[in-house]
Amino acid sequence: MSHLATDSHSYFCPCPRGLEAALAEELNEIAQFSAPAVTLKVHTQVPGGVHCSGLLSDAWRINLHSRIASRVLLRLTHGAYKNENDIYDMTLEQEWESWFPVSHTIRVDVTAVKSPLRSLQFTTLKIKDGICDRFRDLCNERPSVDTGTPDMRIVGFLDAHNFTLYLDTSGEALFKRGWRAETGDAPLRENLAAGLLRTSGWKPGTVLFDPMCGSGTILVEAAQILAGIPAGARRHFAFEKFNDFESAKWLAIKGSFKPNPLPATPTIFGSDISGDMVQIAANNLRNAGILFEVPVKQIEAQEVKPPADAEHGIMLTNPPYGERIGVRGDSTLSSDDLLTAFFSAFGTTLKQRFAGWSIFLFSADLGLPKLLRLKEARKTPFFNGALECRLFRFDMVAGFNRREAAKPKAE
């Protein structure tokens, strides 16, 4: 067994901004999977991710089980720099040959916050040169660059004074779960959907309803959690291409999760205005290995009712913007008028039919409560990529509908 497998390493797990606390909580749960000897330690949360440390096998576990992390980056070095030559020297010093063979393709990405260096492109080139020169000095060959589907991704991070170099253990970003066949327009990323589920407080067994489910991302994440299917069960990772990769040990970790018993009656429900979307959501659920019924039907969101016998539950949805609201709308109305009319009707539906429910709407429209004519109980800021969003929570108190009905009707 290589010393790399038995050494403790530092990791950084990036995630969508706003989900750092949820990710730290999830990492602490994943740490328990290696019990009785818990080797994964969760450290600080910083904007955009969480620092942790552990064995190489802990990185495997995070890749397999984390629903919220975007990647698992293994820290190779960290130190002060003044210019690009310092970065080249630090890169050249790393024992790249102990991690992967020269035959593997590479890709280098650099991000920076307040770095004095003028060109990130030039810095990227210097890191690439450091790796290639190291291999050339050792074996007279250099790895090829492949920006599309590299075997190894190397990530550099610069702040005003320090340079950190990481080796990506994940490969493709972790939100790519390996089940998505087709998507709607700009689907919610899987790790963001998982983070919203955790933030909403949803737990398996609680009724969940997404009335604007699109391609079904929230439904699939919830259904996999309910079934006990790990997020990464249907994909491969970069660490499988590392030198001395112990495939038998990995298969044992992969095979050690216990699926949950399948529910006898549905608790996860979805609907969408578009019949095509309903079909895509059903296909995605099947591809994700969901073997129990998740009813998804075609209906306009303002017409929905709670699933039968569900006196309370959680509604979590990412309302569409502009275009999709008009799928079956009145073409004589402007998109702004359509939006106002739609949310006004949807707000009325929530008040009249969903007493006792907790409603969570994820939107970049910060004026959403006003459109619904509802007062939010809480709003949590998140970023969907660079887009600032809010998760609005509305508690639908029983008696809303009676109060509404008691108001004098406008003539």
**Cis peptide leading into residue 36 (ω within 30°):** yes
Q: For 128-159, how does the pLDDT look when each residue is reduced to its tens digit (9 = 90+)? A: 999 999 999 999 999 999 999 999 999 999 99
205 plus 103 within the same structural domain: no
71 plus 156 within the same structural domain: yes
269 plus 151 within the same structural domain: no
Q: In whole angstroms, what separates CA 50 from the centre of its chain? A: 14
| Rounded CA separation 378/249 (Å) | 45
Question: How confident is residue 4, by pLDDT bands cut at 50, 70 and 90?
Answer: confident
Does residue 76 lie in a domain region?
A: yes
Question: How confident is residue 403, by pLDDT bands cut at 50, 70 and 90?
Answer: very low
| Rounded CA separation 319/211 (Å) | 9
Contacts of 2 (CB under 8 A, 6+ apart): 98, 243, 244
Tell me what pLDDT residue 185 has.
Answer: 63
Q: In what order do the strands lie in the sheet with 314-317?
A: 296-298, 268-272, 208-210, 314-317, 358-363, 387-395, 378-384
Tell me what pLDDT residue 399 has.
Answer: 61
For residue 90, pLDDT over 90 is answered with yes
CATH code of the domain containing 199? 3.40.50.150
Q: For 171-223, how does the pLDDT look when each residue is reduced to its tens digit (9 = 90+)? A: 999 999 999 976 556 679 999 999 999 999 999 999 999 999 999 999 999 99
| Rounded CA separation 186/95 (Å) | 40
Last residue of a domain, one of 118, 138, 168: 168
Report the pLDDT averaged over residues 8-16.
97
Does residue 365 lie in a domain region?
A: yes
Q: For 101-119, how does the pLDDT look when each residue is reduced to its tens digit (9 = 90+)? A: 999 999 999 999 999 999 9
Report the pLDDT averaged over residues 166-174.
98
Does residue 320 lie in a domain region?
A: yes
- For residue 322, what are the domain limits? 190-230+259-396
157 plus 194 within the same structural domain: no
Question: How confident is residue 406, by pLDDT bands cut at 50, 70 and 90?
Answer: very low
211: left (phi over 0), alpha (psi -120 to 50) or beta: alpha
Report the pLDDT averaged over residues 50-61.
97
207 plus 349 within the same structural domain: yes
Cα dihedral 129, 133, 139, 141 sign: positive
Q: How many domains does the chain have?
A: 2
160 plus 224 within the same structural domain: no
Q: For 245-293, how does the pLDDT look when each residue is reduced to its tens digit (9 = 90+)? A: 999 999 999 998 888 998 899 999 999 999 999 999 999 999 999 999 9
Asked if residues 276 and 298 have their Cβ atoms less than 8 Å apart, the reply is no
Cβ atoms within 10 Å, residue 312: 14
Does residue 344 lie in a domain region?
A: yes
Residue 396, class by beta-carbon neighbours within 10 Å (0-12 exposed, 13-18 middle, 19+ buried)? buried
